[in-house]
Amino acid sequence: MTDPKDTQNAAGGTDGAENTAEETAESQATLLATPADGVPDPITTPEELAEAVAKFAVGTGPVALDAERASGYRYSQRAYLVQMRREGAGTLLIDPIALPDLHELNEAICDAEWVLHAANQDLPCLAEIGLVPTRLFDTELAGRLLGDDRVALGTMVEQHLGIRLEKGHSAADWSQRPLPHEWLIYAALDVELLIQLRDVLAQQLADSGKEEWAEQEFETVRLAPPAAPKPERWRRTSGIHAVRTRRGLASVRAMWQARDDYARKRDIAPGRILPDSAIISAARSNATTEEALAALPIFGGPRQSRHLGIWLRALASAAALSDRDLPTMTATPDAVPPTSRWKERSPEAAERLARCRARIAELAEEYAVLGQNLLPSEVLRRLVWRLSEEKLVTAESTPSADTVAAILTELGARPWQIAMTTSALTEALAPPPETQTLTEAQTSPETPAPPPEVTEVPEPPAS
């Protein structure tokens, strides 16, 4: 599984001239294949950690941090390597499997600003080992606020610093030991230039008047609570559309839960235990014995033969359910329907959403910020639906700016986002002029019809 921090966002095309410029810039970028100070060995003992704590305590300036997980290999999202760098202290690699409690290190650097790239991905696993920032700078988020639509770390380092990083191990299984030296080079490079990148981006934020925006966004990320688990996650099983009965869906649910329990206990990514395609195949079958289940694709393999009892018990539990306990064919609907159904459910709300989206896109272009960062699409969707459902906006009336701002606040928009978008959204929610004119004509008191136009008839000629 590719680390999102190394995945470029391909939004927004470029014309031929821009492509040529990018190719020229790439050819002129300096390749950095190894860290300037070399690659340190991972710290694995309390004595080594104490020495590192002392170095970082007397270091100066911000602290660059990163963490490597084993997504796609392990069930958990724990950190398997932590990288840090600070002026005067150099680069530090820590093995959090050998040293799972880094509270002492946290105390040594808690007063410093921490610099991370895509911080929301790493802060949860860092918190698990005692690393919690009091100040944060997120280089990926800063790039988005500056209008960059390609915010992978390597891309941003090349664009803003003119240096190309040697990359290539983002999808590795970082839980294995020992870690290959090539992987350690990659890990150290992730923090090698992070502080320099932060300085360039901070200056650009200041020059563009976006410092306050960034501070609010960084603080929101820093204080964000753990994400709540999504309901009915089993419905995201790939290929579930092929299961067309409630009993079949019950089988999918039971097998998904059995796989999830097994994966959690052994800290293995669920897809490595049993692929989604096997769950769907079993749910559509009438298998009631190990022999029948083993005859299905994948289940007959040597890796699955010892687990047949687990899957068979899951299928049996689904078969034993009463009709009232079977899952519905569709998920419990959200209070706000998907936008693809708005034209059917509420054409007026669909039109309002289209106008608001267009206005946000205009503002995003005007202020050189990505639209999703100016106002998240989910916030906009819920705003428009709520106003429409509660009749706070109709063909005859428009909500006040205070009402729009209050709802945006409830939906989690930041103060800078509210300040930048409220007026424009209030205007966009108003009925178009032609609708207002038509509505006024339909609702105005009936007036007498004008007298018919009299056509003057010439007198006949005198006899």
pLDDT digits over 149-170, tens only? 899 999 999 999 999 987 777 6
Domains of the chain plus CATH, in order, are: 4-8+23-223 (3.30.420.10), 233-325 (1.10.150.80), 339-440 (1.10.150.80)
Task: Give the angle 184-185-190 at the CA atoms, nearest 5°.
Answer: 95
CB atoms near residue 339 (< 10 Å): 16
Task: Give the angle 86-89-94 at the CA atoms, nearest 5°.
Answer: 80
Average pLDDT over residues 84-106: 97
Rounded to whole angstroms, the Cα distance separating 330 from 249 reads 10
Q: What is the pLDDT of residue 130?
A: 98
Does the structure show a pLDDT above 90 at 22? no
Rounded to whole angstroms, the Cα distance separating 208 from 210 reads 6
Average pLDDT over residues 196-219: 98
Q: What is the pLDDT of residue 241?
A: 96
Does the structure show a pLDDT above 70 at 204? yes
pLDDT grade, residue 459 (50/70/90)?
very low
Does the structure show a pLDDT above 60 at 6? no
pLDDT grade, residue 10 (50/70/90)?
very low
Alpha carbon 43 to chain centroid distance?
Answer: 32
Q: What is the pLDDT of residue 286?
A: 85
Longest dimension (CA), the chain: 133
Q: What is the pLDDT of residue 300?
A: 87
Q: What is the pLDDT of residue 5?
A: 55
Buried b (16+ CB within 10 A) or exposed e, 72-81: ebbbbebbbb
pLDDT grade, residue 331 (50/70/90)?
confident
pTM, whole model, 2 decimals?
Answer: 0.85
Element holding 413 (H helix, E strand):
none
Rounded to whole angstroms, the Cα distance separating 132 from 222 reads 9
Alpha carbon 49 to chain centroid distance?
Answer: 34
CB atoms near residue 376 (< 10 Å): 15
For the chain, percent of residues with pLDDT exceeding 70: 87
Evaluated on CA atoms 52, 53, 54, 59, the torsion sign reads positive
Average pLDDT over residues 408-426: 97
CB atoms near residue 186 (< 10 Å): 22
Rounded to whole angstroms, the Cα distance separating 359 from 191 reads 38
Q: What is the pLDDT of residue 11?
A: 35
CB atoms near residue 33 (< 10 Å): 9
pLDDT grade, residue 8 (50/70/90)?
very low
Does the structure show a pLDDT above 80 at 1? no
Task: Give the angle 110-116-121 at the CA atoms, nearest 5°.
Answer: 105
Q: What is the pLDDT of residue 76?
A: 95
Q: What is the pLDDT of residue 327?
A: 96
348 torsion bin: left (phi>0), alpha (psi -120 to 50), beta (else) = alpha
- Integer distance in angstroms from the first to the last C-alpha of the chain? 106
Of the candidates 295, 40, 312, the residue with the CA atom closest to the CA atom of residue 191:
40
Evaluated on CA atoms 400, 406, 410, 411, the torsion sign reads positive
Q: What is the pLDDT of residue 435?
A: 54
pLDDT digits (tens, 9 = 90+) for 299-308: 988 888 889 9
3-state SS assignment for residue 65: strand
For residues 96 and 44, the answer to whether their CB atoms sit within 8 Å is no
Does the structure show a pLDDT above 70 at 7? no
Q: What are phi and psi of 452, to 5 degrees?
A: -60, 145
pLDDT grade, residue 28 (50/70/90)?
confident
For residues 146 and 200, the answer to whether their CB atoms sit within 8 Å is no
pLDDT digits (tens, 9 = 90+) for 376-400: 999 999 999 999 999 999 988 899 9
Rounded to whole angstroms, the Cα distance separating 69 from 74 reads 9
Give long-range contacts, CB 8 A cutoff, 24+ apart: 46-49: 46/99, 49/94, 49/99, 49/102, 49/104, 49/105
Task: Give the angle 264-267-272 at the CA atoms, nearest 5°.
Answer: 95
Is the preceding omega at residue 178 within 30 degrees of 0, hence cis? yes
For the chain, percent of residues with pLDDT exceeding 90: 78
Rounded to whole angstroms, the Cα distance separating 33 from 323 reads 62
Q: What is the pLDDT of residue 29?
A: 86
Average pLDDT over residues 281-296: 94
Average pLDDT over residues 449-463: 42
Q: What is the pLDDT of residue 353?
A: 97
Q: Beta 114-116 vs 60-68: how paired, if at all?
A: parallel
Rounded to whole angstroms, the Cα distance separating 141 from 348 reads 34
- Cα→Cα distances 390→211, 269, 281, 368, 386, Å: 36, 44, 45, 34, 6
For residues 258 and 311, the answer to whether their CB atoms sit within 8 Å is yes
